[in-house]
Amino acid sequence: MQESHAAEATQVSHLYDTILILDFGSQYSHLITRRVRECGVYCELLPCTQKIAELNFKPKGVILSGSPFSITDEGAPHVDPAVFDLGVPVLGICYGLQQIAMNRGGQTGLATKREYGYAELNVVRHPGHIIADKLFEGVADKTTVWMSHGDHLDQPPKGFTIIGTTTTSEYAAIAHEKEHIYGIQFHPEVSHSAEGTKILKNFVIGICGANANWSMGSFIDKEIERIRTLVGPHGCVIGAVSGGVDSTVAAVLMKRAIGDRFHAILVDNGVMRLNECETVKHTLNDSLGINLTVADASDLFLSRLKGVTDPEKKRKIIGNTFIEVFEAEAHRIDNENKELGRDKIEWLLQGTLYPDVIESISFKGPSATIKSHHNVGGLLEDMRLNLIEPLRELFKDEVRALGSLLGIPDDLIWRHPFPGPGIAIRVLGEVTPEQVDIARRADHIYIEEIKNAGLYRKISQAYAALLPVRSVGVMGDQRTYEQVIALRAVETKDFMTADWFEFPYSVLKRISNRIINEVHGVNRVVYDVSSKPPSTIEWE
Ligand X SMILES: Nc1ncnc2c1ncn2[C@@H]1O[C@H](COP(=O)(O)OP(=O)(O)OP(=O)(O)O)[C@@H](O)[C@H]1O
Ligand Y SMILES: NC(=O)CC[C@H](N)C(=O)O
Active site residues: 94, 187, 189
Taking the complex as a whole, the smallest distance from the CB of residue 200 to ligand XMP amounts, in Å, to 30
Q: Which of 418, 417, 421, 382 has the alpha carbon at shortest distance from 304?
A: 421
Residue in 371, 392, 396, 510 binding ligand XMP, rule: CB under 6 A = 371
Residue 235 as a binder of ligand Y (CB under 6 A): the answer is no
Span from 53-61, 356-364, 509-517, 532-540 in contact with ligand XMP (CB under 6 A): 532-540
Q: Name the packing angle between helices 298-305 and 311-339 (round to 10°).
A: 150
Q: Which of 121, 102, 109 has the alpha carbon at shortest distance from 162?
A: 121
Residue 504 as a binder of ligand Y (CB under 6 A): the answer is no
Could you tell me if 80 and 60 are in contact, meaning their C-beta atoms sit under 8 angstroms apart? no
Residue in 43, 100, 119, 245 binding ligand X, rule: CB under 6 A = 245
Taking the complex as a whole, the smallest distance from the CB of residue 490 to ligand XMP amounts, in Å, to 8
Alpha-carbon span 208 to 81, nearest angstrom: 19
Alpha-carbon span 423 to 411, nearest angstrom: 20
Residue ranges in 366-385 that form contacts with ligand X under rule CB under 6 A: 376-377
Span from 51-59, 241-249, 300-308, 447-455 in contact with ligand X (CB under 6 A): 241-249
Residue ranges in 16-55 that form contacts with ligand Y under rule CB under 6 A: 26
Residue 246 as a binder of ligand X (CB under 6 A): the answer is yes
Residue 91 as a binder of ligand Y (CB under 6 A): the answer is no
Alpha-carbon span 464 to 467, nearest angstrom: 10
Residue 95 as a binder of ligand Y (CB under 6 A): the answer is yes
Residue ranges in 124-153 that form contacts with ligand Y under rule CB under 6 A: 148-151
| Helix/strand/coil percentages in the chain, nearest 5 | 40, 25, 40
* Nearest 10 degrees: Cα torsion 374, 380, 386, 387: -20
Span from 60-68, 159-167, 233-241, 508-516 in contact with ligand Y (CB under 6 A): 60-68
Taking the complex as a whole, the smallest distance from the CB of residue 358 to ligand X amounts, in Å, to 16
Total H helices, total E strands in the chain: 16, 18
Residue ranges in 298-317 that form contacts with ligand XMP under rule CB under 6 A: 315
Nearer to ligand X, 97 or 258 (CB): 258
* Beta strands 181-184; 173-176: pairing state: antiparallel
Which residues lie near Mg ion (CB under 5 A)?
A: 242, 244, 418
Q: Which of 114, 107, 163, 104 has the alpha carbon at shortest distance from 136?
A: 163
Sign for the CA dihedral angle at 430, 434, 438, 443 comes to: positive
Site string for ligand Y, 61-80 (x = CB under 6 A): -----xxxxx----------
Taking the complex as a whole, the smallest distance from the CB of residue 483 to ligand X amounts, in Å, to 26
Q: For residue 404, give the 3-state DSSP assignment.
A: helix
> Which partner, ligand XMP, ligand X, ligand Y, none, binds residue 202 by CB below 5 to 8 Å per kind?
none
* Beta strands 107-123; 160-165: pairing state: antiparallel
Could you tell me if 237 and 345 are in contact, meaning their C-beta atoms sit under 8 angstroms apart? yes
Residue 269 as a binder of ligand X (CB under 6 A): the answer is yes
Span from 11-19, 32-40, 345-353, 372-380 in contact with ligand XMP (CB under 6 A): 372-380
> Which residues lie near ligand XMP (CB under 6 A)?
315, 371, 373, 375-376, 417, 419-421, 461, 495, 532, 536-538
> Which residues lie near ligand Y (CB under 6 A)?
26, 66-70, 94-95, 148-151
